Amino acid sequence: MSKLRVESFTISLDGFGAGPDQDLNNPLGLGGTALHGWALPTRTFQKNLFGNDGGETGVDEDFAARGFQNIGAWILGRNMFGPVRGPWPDESWRGWWGENPVYHVPVFVLTNYARAPLVMEGGTTFHFVTEGAVAALERAREAAGGKDVRVGGGVHVIQQYLRQRLIDEMHFAISPILLGSGERLFEGVNLRALGYVCTRHAATPLATHVILARQ
């Protein structure tokens, strides 16, 4: 059965999934780029983000790679797609990833403002959904054709799906840094009451990986 999954979402030791003051120069907020020190050297991220053949293997790579396995569609929040706020002034913003984004499957972007689908190279098409989180999930499941759907973030999008008990499994990487402020992932969320338990955990020098599943 198709699952709704969170994969490779990194939080700081003090629980923040993004730093403050997100903008074009700081897409993850001030200090937020440091969250992903575990991921960027991996073979999966080197290949998908930079087109490189090299990269590190090991536990961090294993967790990075699993995030792309059996994924048929993605869901993103508006902030994950780009820094543009309010009504779309035009269609010049085409994402952070260039003309061949890392997804290679349909991507459904939650937004309050309609925009025509954006067809990119490599099989990625961005669909902009104005009907809410549940409607986006229904469309993503249909597009995924029986494969899983990955929620890419950001924090508020994950919280929406958590509170509606729609996420089946989550992989979080806890980075050994402190951000001090920003977007706290579990603010107002009672994971225990929602039925989540830890099914796996592993530590490396750069992150502690945790798998949570809904029972």
Q: What is the mean pLDDT of residues 177-203?
A: 95
Coil, strand, or helix at residue 11? Answer: strand
Predicted local confidence at residue 121, as pLDDT: 96
pLDDT at 51: 86
4-85+99-214 maps to which CATH number? Answer: 3.40.430.10
As a whole number, mean pLDDT of residues 129-145 equals 98
Mean pLDDT of the chain: 95
- pLDDT tens readout for residues 54-83: 999 999 999 999 999 999 999 999 989 998
pLDDT of amino acid 21: 84
pLDDT of 172 strictly over 90: yes
Residues 6+ apart with CB under 8 A from 204: 38, 58, 59, 60
Average pLDDT over residues 189-207: 96
State percent of the chain over pLDDT 90.
Answer: 87
Residue 30 pLDDT: 87
pLDDT digits (tens, 9 = 90+) for 87-116: 999 999 999 989 999 999 999 999 999 999
Spatial distance between the Cα atoms of 29 and 27, rounded to a whole number of angstroms = 6
Residue 1 pLDDT greater than 80, yes or no? no
Helices (H), the chain: 43-50, 59-66, 78-81, 133-144, 155-163
183 pLDDT band (50/70/90 cuts)?
Answer: very high
* pLDDT tens digits, 12-41: 999 999 998 888 888 888 888 999 999 999
pLDDT in tens, 118-135: 999 999 999 999 999 999
Rounded Cα distance, 181 and 193, in Å: 26
> Given this model, what pLDDT does residue 85 score?
87
pLDDT over 90 at 165, yes or no: yes
Say if residue 4's pLDDT is above 90. yes
Q: What is the CA radius of gyration of the chain?
A: 16
pLDDT confidence of residue 148: 98
Q: What residue spans define the domains of the chain? A: 4-85+99-214
